[in-house]
Amino acid sequence: MNERKLINAKGQPSYGVFDDPIEMINHMDFDLRNAMDRKLSNWAKKFKFNQFQFIGLINPELIVGIAIVDLKLVSNSFIYIYETSTGKFEEFSFLNPFASNTQMDLRPNDGESHFKKGRNTVEFKATSTPGVRSVKVELDGKLSVDALIDESTEYNPLSMCSRAGYTGWVFTQKTNALICTGSVKWQDKEYDLKAMNTLASVDWSCGYMRRETFWNWGSLSCFLPDGRRLGFNLAAGVNETGTSENAIWLDGKMHKVDMVDFKFDRYHPEHAWTLRSNDGKVDIHFEPAGQRKEKLNAFVMASNFTQHFGKYFGDITLDGETIHLSGEWGFSEDHYAKW
């Protein structure tokens, strides 16, 4: 059986939201051209292709964010951890020039991505049979993560591709509120992720993105009082050409959401955000508790990145049911990038 690839025989990607996940991102088969329709070389195809993966582990006591980013001229991995009861926070960030010691697979559900810097390693590994995504982090004795994310049952990711700029495209696969087990060791303390009712979110994205772009993003994974799992992925500023990457998951079932408006004060990061969707399914606000912030201006490349963690309040409406959020932990993000 042939695997399902993103780029077709004519060198063009399939666009829209996919009922079945894409198995292979065959970007080197893309007919990449400049704005004047001149075909670009394989070298250009390779070095203009950006890819990243972010995994969030979250429960009422602990929040962990882990990312690997491959921009070809440089790769980056960042990890942060926050204990909600004490406010303890620690972050780690590493850069590798020309993406050395960095590998990112082209199969969203069946491949391995890893990053190494000295004695620090970050590894994501996905297998479709059984559906499991493992997360392993070893940071020179400072932090250790060994987690398994269940993607074997009720796995219903949002998988989509949209146009980016005049000649490019962006593919993303996202899932929230997935069952997570394993352990985290940090500051002489070990956390049992299963005992803490931890849920995970997975963001697997790549493509030929706009030279300059930005996005706002919101993410939640939580258990409701009745035991159901609720998650959402909401965004504005990217993946909005013909469709969007906005979705809500309730016990694994995905519900698409219309465009979302983000209102916030970039220059007062402690102020609350408001997120509302055009279809009325989302009417919530987000109160930041902390953030990971990074600015880079290297002329050819630039990034102004702020990812917050905090609490969501407000209402989610699905199929006539209103679900009230009363301080569930999640993420938000404001990001400008030039690459």
- pLDDT, position 153: 80
108 preceded by cis ω (within 30°)? no
- pLDDT, position 1: 57
Q: Structure tokens of 216? A: 């706002």
- pLDDT, position 68: 98
Q: Helix (H, G, I), strand (E, B), or coil: what is residue 46?
A: helix
Q: Give the up-direction half-sphere exposure of residue 130: CA atoms within 13 A in the CB hemisphere.
A: 9
pTM above 0.85, yes or no: yes
> For the chain, which ranges sit under pLDDT 70?
1
Cβ neighbours around 125 below 10 Å, total:
15
- Burial readout 2-23 (b: 16 or more C-beta within 10 A, e: otherwise): eeebbbeeeeebebebbeebbb
DSSP H or E segment with residue 45: helix 42-47
Q: Residue 272 has what DSSP assignment?
A: P
Contact 148, 134 (CB under 8 A): yes
Chain centre to alpha carbon of residue 211: 20
Q: How far apart are CA 160 and CA 245, in angstroms?
A: 7
**Smallest Cα–Cα separation from 65: which of 80, 84, 83, 82?**
80
Cβ neighbours around 241 below 10 Å, total:
14
- Beta pairing partners, 276: 261, 283
Q: What is the CA radius of gyration of the chain?
A: 19
Q: How far apart are CA 190 and CA 50, in angstroms?
A: 35
- Beta pairing partners, 47: none
Question: Looking at the domain 16-338, which fold is it?
Answer: AttH-like fold (2.40.370)
- pLDDT, position 204: 98
Q: How far apart are CA 269 and CA 290, in angstroms?
A: 9
Q: Give the up-direction half-sphere exposure of residue 50: CA atoms within 13 A in the CB hemisphere.
A: 22
Residue bearing tokens 């009745």:
226
